[in-house]
Amino acid sequence: MQLLKWHGQLILLNFLMFMSWRPCRGLNVPSYDANYRANPTRRSAVFAQPSSYYDQYAAAGPKPLTADQRRAKLTALSNPDFYFPADPEADLAEANEPEPALERQRARPAPAAGSFSYNEKDKNGPSHWYRVDVRCGGRYQSPILLNTSSALLVNRKRPLRLDGQTNLPQTILLQNDGHSAKFTYNWRTGADRPVLRGGPLKTKYLFDQFHFHWGVNSTVGSEHVYDYQRYPMEIHLVFYNGLYESFAAAREQVDGIAVVGLFYEIYDHSVDEQLNTWTRFLRNVVEPNSQHTIEFIDTFPLYEVIGDVEWPYFSYEGSLTTPPCLETVTWIVATKPLLVTEKEMKQFRRLQSPTGLMVNNYRPVQKLNHRRVFLY
């Protein structure tokens, strides 16, 4: 009798061990041994072929889940900690590829503001950005495809808050930096600077600047692709971790940057309506590498640009979408688009870059690799 009881316990123990070991099998966690770190060649190898994702999702609608995806999703819902999207090819590639030597790359002096192009045909086009800065060939790059169906729902969420949204700056510096139109606010005191906190963020993040990515027409333009759709424009509000002294100091730190991205959708009910009156300043920076100071009397608060921060959003760990492509960004991408008129879009499409019209200044989507994307 005693023996039988023992036997039963053993079987139960075995069963428990089996269950706890099973979910780990699919993970294929890369081993971070010295060998991997010593191999400097892998980044260029990965990026030698041009991205095949380029715009193939622009027109297609959402596809139904395959049996595998459904299974993966069920696993995800029951145990988010063990979920990685089913992507056998990426798994294989990961197993054969050594991990990049991050420390060494950090130590490398940053190359002089290298010139990069958004044109895939150029020698310094998006698939060759790793030549401008090796970090652009990293594994955790942005933008990516965001799908509602494969994101992990976060149930116990802390609200995302943006304080100081209605504060007015002293002046606003508007720059055409050759790649985008950038608005940098000049605050009277540090206390006026808007602060982003909550949601996926562990500390306070201070507002630095916002800029845009847009298309030559309204079928393209946004960097992130949301449920297989590209929007005509995307705004990026860049924040840096308050633990660090400045944006420049923070951007090299793992938790240094948070970027809030919002899509724009065309509002076409009335041709004459002005939704984003601040777009009128763009005409002052048509020339590449020009700038314009918006005086106090004309300044506008962040609230006038993005309104309330009350939307569901995706969050994931990624990078800056332009060289040096630092992988220090916590992305927060809103699912609710803002509105813009075609007339206002024309103000953006009139801007000049050093090589012609500044349009289609969006980076192709990057591989997800083993990252998880959360939906808050």
Ligand X SMILES: *[C@@H]1O[C@H](CO)[C@@H](O)[C@H](O)[C@H]1NC(C)=O
Q: Which is nearer to ligand X, 292 or 370 (CB)?
A: 370
Closest CA to 321 of 179, 177, 185, 208: 179
Least gap, CB of 304 to ligand X (angstroms): 29
The CA distance from 221 to 345, in Å, is 11
For 88, 91, 146, 258, 375, the CA distances from 68, given in Å and listed in that order, are 11, 15, 19, 33, 21
- Among 79, 219, 246, 355, the residue binding ligand X under the rule CB under 6 A is 219
Tell me if 222 sits within 8 A of 213, measured CB to CB. yes
Surface-to-core class of residue 42, CB atoms within 10 Å of its CB (0-12 exposed, 13-18 middle, 19+ buried): middle
Q: Which is nearer to ligand X, 220 or 306 (CB)?
A: 220
223 φψ region: left (φ > 0), alpha (ψ -120 to 50), beta (else)? alpha
The CA distance from 281 to 89, in Å, is 47
The CA distance from 246 to 329, in Å, is 15
The CA distance from 269 to 271, in Å, is 7
**Residue 326 amino acid letter:** L
Residue 102 touches ligand X, criterion: CB under 6 A: no
- Among 220, 262, 333, 375, the residue binding ligand X under the rule CB under 6 A is 220
- Among 76, 132, 134, 146, the residue binding ligand X under the rule CB under 6 A is 146
- Binding mask 81-100 toward ligand X (x if CB under 6 A, else -) reads ----x---------------
Verify whether residue 179 is a known catalytic residue.
yes
Q: Which is nearer to ligand X, 280 or 350 (CB)?
A: 350
Residue 196 touches ligand X, criterion: CB under 6 A: no
**Residue 330 amino acid letter:** T
Residue 375 touches ligand X, criterion: CB under 6 A: no
Tokens encoding 355: 């090589």
Exactly one of 128, 179, 213, 236 is catalytic; which is it? 179
- Among 160, 325, 373, 375, the residue binding ligand X under the rule CB under 6 A is 373
Neighbours of 56 (CB within 10 A): 11
Interactions with ligand X, residue window 350-369 (CB under 6 A): 368
Cis (ω within 30 of 0) for the bond into 324?
yes
Q: Which is nearer to ligand X, 232 or 323 (CB)?
A: 232
Interactions with ligand X, residue window 149-168 (CB under 6 A): 150
Closest CA to 249 of 302, 212, 211, 206: 206
Least gap, CB of 350 to ligand X (angstroms): 16
Least gap, CB of 145 to ligand X (angstroms): 4
Residue 65 touches ligand X, criterion: CB under 6 A: no
Least gap, CB of 272 to ligand X (angstroms): 23
Surface-to-core class of residue 222, CB atoms within 10 Å of its CB (0-12 exposed, 13-18 middle, 19+ buried): buried
The CA distance from 102 to 76, in Å, is 29
Q: Which is nearer to ligand X, 148 or 299 (CB)?
A: 148
Q: Which stretch binds ligand X (CB under 6 A): 14-22, 140-148, 195-203, 272-280?
A: 140-148
Q: Which is nearer to ligand X, 48 or 357 (CB)?
A: 357
Q: Which stretch binds ligand X (CB under 6 A): 121-129, 134-142, 216-224, 334-342?
A: 216-224
Residue 217 touches ligand X, criterion: CB under 6 A: yes
Size of the residue set binding ligand X (CB under 6 A)? 12
Longest dimension (CA), the chain: 91
Tell me if 153 sits within 8 A of 76, measured CB to CB. no
Q: Which is nearer to ligand X, 136 or 220 (CB)?
A: 220
Q: Which is nearer to ligand X, 150 or 319 (CB)?
A: 150
Q: Which stretch binds ligand X (CB under 6 A): 27-35, 213-221, 290-298, 343-351?
A: 213-221
Residue 46 touches ligand X, criterion: CB under 6 A: no
Interactions with ligand X, residue window 308-337 (CB under 6 A): none
The CA distance from 274 to 68, in Å, is 47
What are the catalytic residues?
Answer: 179
Q: Which residues form the interface with ligand X (CB under 6 A)?
A: 85, 144-147, 150, 216-217, 219-220, 368, 373
